[in-house]
Structure 1
Amino acid sequence: MKTRENIQKIKKIEEICNIIKRDIISLVDTHLSPDRDQRSSSLYPNGLATILADAALRTRSEKTSQWIRMNAKGRNLFGTALHPSEFSPLMWTSLYVLDELCGFPPPEMLQEKMPSPKNILTELDYPFSNDSSYIFPFHLACLTHLYLMEGRDASHLLQMIVDHQQPDGSWIDDTTATAMSVLALQQAEITPTYDFRNWLENARLPDGYWAAANGEVWEAAYALRTGEVPNSAQLANVIVECMHENYWWGFSRYSVPDADDMSAACYVLADHNPDLAAAALDRLEEVQDEKGGWGAFPEIEGTIPYETVVAPARESSCDITCHAAEALERNGRKGSAFKKGIYYLLENQKHEGYWRAPWWNSDFYVTTEIIFLLKQNNFEDTVFNALDWMEKKVNSQENLNITEYALMIGAFSAEYEEYSAEYEEYSDCLDTATDKFLEKYDSESLPPTFDIIYFAGLLDLMIYRLSVMLYYLRTFLRKAV
């Protein structure tokens, strides 16, 4: 029987869901418009992208300058707090470029810790780095800047930068990669093949700043998964238009194809273009490894050379495998590839009950998704093991972010009709997760949560994050009502 207090909580969650839905629709209209001239990115960090883009254009805008003075500092510069011990070689290179080409010197505490360009090169030398091949053009531009600082011949790197520009003027539809590439070419007095100025000007947002990247495939897919976005056919067409000729998808239309974005696209296209999804899933099944898993970057043709993909990005992981299995199931393909994927997940659950997510700064995302996937396929013991891990987390003193509490609400709200008696023991966990979620919301509303790993820190994918929250909060409301 519902208590007055619980009814108030339900009403509050309903209000928050309506706010999130409104925000998602607004963000989709702004950032994922089929009209490319109106589309801009919803991703952070913005400070670094804005300083570099402004320098690349070489035309000062007072509105941009004002935005930089007010915002380009601290967390917003790289998407993470400025702790030197956590800096990657790409971040150190960015600081040199900001200082020498953009007139934006780093804080004194960073200047004292900065390694020399020569030392950075030992960690960053082509073709490998510790970063993902999503940002190969950015990696290439950083190498070029370091070569030029050291007086080394960079002609081969400069030619590769020229060759990787897209016809629209950008490098992989990414503001930061585009600006850094342009600055490298400008240092060598080389004119890019295509007009980068028009692309950068169109990407500038009304307040004068630029956003870091474009994750339109990933964000459009998760917005569609909520089932609450108007004009879903139009949004699905954005995903279709981003497909590479080889039936693969990347993070955006020019990004290197990868198994994760491929899976996200195929999942939602089951309802909008099942024939295309089926053709793509044939390719996805071909790159499943012998143990049943999928890695982010299998050996496929794409816009970025495969030799730049470092070993960890090729190795199978639980988050990528979960998304591939979800896409197969959504498209009615529960054959050998699906079963092998499920087996991989069962074999790779940690003893504590969670699954590791190497592409995230949080294990709650993949663990919650796998809970739902395995629940649908009747692996109840494994699910309860995962819920036991979440029970410890929700009752700990650990300070989680608002998205993680929403994920736990979803996990504890799953409808286990066939073993509801066993599930009842988690009702207190659901109450605790709900209380902590509402406390976070009252204190911070819907702040950015930097959970996603990127080249120079972390990213907050606003549309994706809000879509995940909406999906799992709706799960709670269905159970509560």
Structure 2
Amino acid sequence: MSLEKSIIETAVKRSQNFLLDGIENHILTGTQKQSKFLINPSPLATALVILASEKDSKSVKNAISWLRNIQNKDGGWGFSDNVSSDINSTSLCLLAIEETDKQVDERTSTFIEENGGFSKTKWFVQVILSLFNKYPPDEICAPSVGPVELPPSEMRFTPFFYNNLYPYAKDMVFSLTALEMLAKHENADKIIRFLENVQGLDGSWDQDIVVTSLTALAFQRTKINPKINPYRWFSKVQYSEGALPAFNQLACWDIGWASSILASEFLQDERLQRARNYLENGIYLDGSFGSTLPYAGPDIDDTAVALIGLKSLRSDKALQTVRYLKSMQNADGSWSTFPEYYGSPPYCVSGKVVHQPSMDITCHVLKALYDESLTGKEPFIESALNWLVSAQNKDGSWKTTWFNSNIHATSEAVITLHKFGIKEETIAKGLEYLVAQQRSDRCFGNGTVEEASLAITAFMTCCFDAVDIDPVIQFLIDSQNPDGSFVRSYTGVYAHSILYNDPMYSAYLGLNAFELYNKVEV
């Protein structure tokens, strides 16, 4: 081992303690959670909640104070604190401040003007600005090309369009359509009644802060009261400093991954016992899980990771979830993120899949369903592996779905194929792609901890020695904070304009790389 064993062991112990404490933090109820374990705060989401809330409330005052404290020197805001300003976040933060304490920084207006004005914002921002008379309603431009294509508002309720939206997207599109109609002084009561019927049992919509704030704003403007007051839910998910994230914590995801890597050494630890109870008690009626329990809609990716955690924790409650994942496989062998569902989580049953096939999720499901007795010849396994091979790009990569770099999907695909002993030439092409992504400074891709951890995990898993691992491990050690977390980097994709950091997932990936390095070098 080129690096001192004591240094690696210290890094391992720090990450283990961070994950154990993070599990406890996620499971805690009735107390303020520590933000260091949670998704990064979002100025845009915070601004939306301010606009949808009572202006004189303590929570709004705290939120405004946070926005002012993290404002960038150019007068703007980015998708997180300490991130370069963008026109969308800045426009909504400006509006939120104008609608509350009216004290606007001139630098903010200058930033917006120098970046093309409100006309350069995305559709959803234009809708909100129009609602507050800051943008001409007849100039609202819904996206007609790109990752999110929308027909005219009157066509958004046709079966062809509606039936192809996954549940979260339905609520997002419908709430924004209602706000767009209200901005144009049209009647939106029918949409409001639809949204009223899909509200979660906790008062949120999809346990999503952005969707809930947009929907609450629509109810506020129509002066119709929802069945459950959503403002209590906002207060529960607001961080102690006053900020809110783009969406609530990914509890199932974090606890599932953390448990999977900690169980071999800490199975009897009380925190892991509570993690097992949390996951077992969180299983929905059909065996699925949501991203945050117990009211988020079923999510196949979070279900897979929850199952990985349950099996690692030796739970006897995993069989229903195994059956669920097998039943949600697409005809081509892949898995996707979102199914339709009927009922209100956790009392819900999934229907057909309504999202694109995903490399990331297919790999996670295969990992969740993996068993030493599998041969790879089982029909559901064989079709999944065939799909993985066929989905490889010409450059050797695989396309990611929920991250901002193909290094994520490519590393996962290489590791998965190696586990099942399939297609050595396909694995070789994937490894060559990863080698080509390494930079002169030891990092990979965008220079993040996540990408470096995943890439070298793929190399070490496949016993691939064309890359010197030591400098990358040193990079991870240098990027680790004293508490076991890592320097924040924004690799997760929420919507298409907001990236996020999940510190628990970063710590899991880093720990996985450290532990595998120890095994390889022994």
Q: What's the TM-score, normalizing by structure 1?
A: 0.82
Q: CA distance change for structure 1 residues 297 and 385 in 2, over 3 Å: closer, same or farther?
A: same
Match of 1:326 among 359, 367, 374: 367
Matches within 5 A, 1:328-477: 328-330=369-371, 335-379=378-422, 380-395=424-439, 399-414=446-461, 416=463, 423-424=464-465, 426=466, 428-438=467-477, 446-455=486-495, 456-477=497-518
Shift of 1:329: 0.7
Q: CA distance change for structure 1 residues 360 and 222 in 2, over 3 Å: closer, same or farther?
A: same
Q: CA distance change for structure 1 residues 291 and 93 in 2, over 3 Å: closer, same or farther?
A: farther
Match of 1:44 among 36, 40, 44: 40
Q: Which residue of 1 aligns with 2:147?
A: none
Shift of 1:83: 4.9
Q: Distance in 1 between matches of 2:312 and 2:277?
A: 12
Moved more, 206-215 or 431-440: 431-440
Moved more, 209-218 or 70-79: 70-79
Residue by residue over 1:86-127, the C-alpha shift from the partner in whole angstroms, topping out at 9 and shown as x without a partner, is x7xxx8996797478566887332425246544334654435
Q: Distance in 2 between matches of 1:460 and 1:212?
A: 11
Q: Distance in 1 between matches of 2:454 and 2:439?
A: 15
Q: Distance in 2 between matches of 1:100 and 1:135?
A: 29
Aligned-pair RMSD on alpha carbons? Answer: 3.6
Residue by residue over 1:326-384, the C-alpha shift from the partner in whole angstroms, topping out at 9 and shown as x without a partner, is 11114966632122211211222223222211222112222222222222222333323
Q: Which residue of 1 aligns with 2:64?
A: 65
Shift of 1:475: 1.0
Q: CA distance change for structure 1 residues 158 and 77 in 2, over 3 Å: closer, same or farther?
A: farther
> SS where residue 44 of structure 1 aligns?
coil
Q: CA distance change for structure 1 residues 437 and 38 in 2, over 3 Å: closer, same or farther?
A: closer
Percent of aligned positions with the same letter in both sequences?
21
Kindly indicate whether the alpha-carbon contact (under 8 Å) linking 1:37 and 1:202 is maintained by their aligned counterparts in 2.
no
Match of 2:228 among 191, 194, 203: 194
Match of 1:148 among 162, 178, 182: 182
One-letter amino acid of the counterpart of residue 59, structure 1 = D
In structure 2, the gaps of 5 or more residues are 127-135, 145-149
Q: Distance in 1 between matches of 2:175 and 2:469?
A: 48
> SS where residue 458 of structure 1 aligns?
strand
In structure 1, the gaps of 5 or more residues are 417-422
Q: CA distance change for structure 1 residues 14 and 350 in 2, over 3 Å: closer, same or farther?
A: farther
Kindly indicate whether the alpha-carbon contact (under 8 Å) linking 1:49 and 1:176 is maintained by their aligned counterparts in 2.
yes
Q: Which residue of 2 aligns with 1:175?
A: 209
Q: Distance in 2 between matches of 1:162 and 1:92?
A: 30
Q: What's the TM-score, normalizing by structure 2?
A: 0.76
One-letter amino acid of the counterpart of residue 386, structure 1 = G
Shift of 1:186: 1.2
Q: CA distance change for structure 1 residues 301 and 363 in 2, over 3 Å: closer, same or farther?
A: farther
Kindly indicate whether the alpha-carbon contact (under 8 Å) linking 1:216 and 1:251 is maintained by their aligned counterparts in 2.
yes
Higher helix share: 1
Matches within 5 A, 1:105-116: 107-108=112-113, 109=115, 110-114=117-121
Shift of 1:274: 5.2
Match of 2:260 among 211, 225, 241: 225
One-letter amino acid of the counterpart of residue 3, structure 2 = I
Q: Distance in 2 between matches of 1:454 and 1:100?
A: 26
Residue by residue over 1:267-302, the C-alpha shift from the partner in whole angstroms, topping out at 9 and shown as x without a partner, is 222244655422222232223223211122245546
Matches within 5 A, 1:16-95: 16-33=11-28, 35=29, 42-55=38-51, 56-61=53-58, 62-71=61-70, 73-77=76-80, 81-83=84-86
Q: CA distance change for structure 1 residues 470 and 161 in 2, over 3 Å: closer, same or farther?
A: same
Q: Distance in 2 between matches of 1:174 and 1:188?
A: 21
One-letter amino acid of the counterpart of residue 454, structure 2 = L
